Amino acid sequence: MPHVPDSSIQAWVAKAENTGLFTGEGFSENVLQHSAVKSLLYPLSVQKNNQAVYALLKMNGQNIMGIFGNKHTGVGFEGTERNISPDLYAFFCPLTHKNAVLIRKTLPFTAPSLIAGTKATIGLGDRLGIAGPGHIRMVRGHSAAPVLAQQSIRETDLTQRTYEDVLDSSTWAVFQEGYTGPWGADGDHIKTEERVRKILKVGFTMITADVSDHLKNEISVMTETEILNVYKGLDEDYRKRIEKKYLPVELELDIGESIAFSNLDLARISLTYKEAIEHAERLYNAAVDEKGEDAFDFELSVDESSAPTSPQAHLFIANEICEANIKVSSVAPRFVGEFQKAIDYIGDLDAFKRSFRTHAALARYFGYKISVHSGSDKFSVFPVIGELSRGRFHIKTSGTNWLEAVKVIARKDPGLYRELHRKALLTFDRATKYYHVTTNIKKVPDLSTLRDGQLHELFNNPDARQLIHITYGEILSDPLFKERFFYSIEKHIEEYWKSLEAHVGRHLDLLGV
């Protein structure tokens, strides 16, 4: 357990006594606004509960939870006890996992909740575990609910983090900012039943089921004759059921369009998605076994297929998950065009608008949100998404939050950035096995041609953005780079939070929420 040094506690208590924090007016609004008090704690974190006061303290360069009350107030928490006066005891608690678990029980707003009922939601992947305060300040000016804890297995593996750490980081950010609104915790792109159970056991409230390994993408390149022949090999009862259900059906949507199936459509789509839907059912049932019905949000992701999701495929998927009694809060199709990491949309905007309009109408018909993955920096399509979804959507971001941190490094610590950039160039090829990008390294300016004051301009270059984006694992897995990176960004943490507030806030501005 991390230890809070006695000398640090003594120095903090002495300063606090001089500010009047422990007097009759202690922790009042007037006292908390004093600059001397703000140097000792985060005023928004102060919470009063059962005759005790909880606050996030600033102590010798690190954050510590303080609990103030009677001698029983801090029972169960890890930390150091101090008797401040005959009637006042203080407990100085490091930000450990055990303390995070306890504070979630003591102050329920610091625990994630279900957000499926919220009209607009945004996933805010935080690979560094320090972006939360910036994200919270950003959403306070908008009507979208945040998913503050959102990480995929790929991300946790590459950053060498645990799901406990991801959730705890969000809890402490919520505590620091005194954020009492709803927020979610999403185990992103989860593929196995074992992982579903583990993540829900940790305390996550949302599962994004990734069934991409069970999609039969090879069907898309077969001839009509080949598809129909393979289709005949499916179970006869299954074929009879879906033919009865889909071939006579023409679904009218609220946008004046209708969707119908040909024999070939049904054969192709059922062959492509049948096993994926069966796996989604297994993942969903694992979640029900762990948490119970209606105790979690469940998103189905089919966005990593080899071809865009057709309206017929979306309708088939939605109907079949209803048939399997899977209650989804959102579905992520693969849209036309390309949603590459941390750069704007690539493709025909009119084609996207036509396609998205239909997908959003299908989501409305079935009662779930349309979900957009790789949503970082898709500024050209955000107005379309906001308008055509009628403000009901879930959008996922992650890479842009990492890039904003590196951009701060480029501005404030150019020497470190130059080393980091060279590391990214050396490891780029290895990193491409994790992400699909079309980066042209030759279009990334040579650092020798740039002055220190120009380095931040690299983040206006799509190829440079993707270079830095996909190599985060290579950079953060190097112990020396990781230590220097965190040392530098912590020195400029307020600037980082302000940059997130502005940059990610622009996402929600354009989405109209």
Cβ neighbours of residue 412 under 8 Å, at least 6 residues apart?
A: 488, 491, 492, 495
pLDDT at 25 (0 to 100):
72
485 with 416: CB under 8 angstroms?
yes
Q: Are strands 47-49 and 52-59 parallel, antiparallel or unpaired?
A: antiparallel
pLDDT at 24 (0 to 100):
72
Options 126, 165, 168, 188, the catalytic residue: 188
- β strands within 2-132, DSSP E: 47-49, 52-59, 62-69, 80-85, 88-93, 120-124
Q: pTM score, two decimals?
A: 0.96
pLDDT at 14 (0 to 100):
93
Domains of the chain: which residue ranges?
Answer: 6-96, 109-399, 410-500
pLDDT at 20 (0 to 100):
86
510 with 379: CB under 8 angstroms?
yes
Using CA atoms, how far residue 120 sits from 131, 387, 409, in Å, is 21, 12, 32
Q: Which CATH class is domain 109-399?
A: alpha beta
Known catalytic residue at 188: yes
Known catalytic residue at 177: no
Among candidates 32, 41, 52, which has minimal Cα distance to 107?
Answer: 52
Per-residue pLDDT of the chain (513 residues; tens, 9 = 90+): 677 889 999 999 999 999 889 887 778 888 888 899 999 999 999 999 988 999 999 999 899 999 999 999 999 999 999 999 988 999 999 999 999 999 999 999 999 999 999 999 999 999 999 999 999 999 998 999 999 999 999 999 999 999 999 999 999 999 999 999 999 999 999 999 999 999 999 999 999 999 999 999 999 999 999 999 999 999 999 999 999 999 988 999 999 999 999 999 999 999 999 999 999 999 999 999 999 999 999 999 999 888 999 999 999 999 999 999 999 999 999 999 999 999 999 999 999 999 999 999 999 999 999 999 999 999 999 999 999 999 999 999 999 999 999 999 999 999 999 999 999 999 999 999 989 899 999 999 999 999 999 999 999 999 999 999 999 999 999 999 999 999 999 999 999 999 999 999 999 999 999
Cβ-count burial of 173 within 10 angstroms (0-12 exposed, 13-18 middle, 19+ buried)? buried
Options 299, 303, 377, 413, the catalytic residue: 299
Among candidates 274, 275, 298, which has minimal Cα distance to 286?
Answer: 298
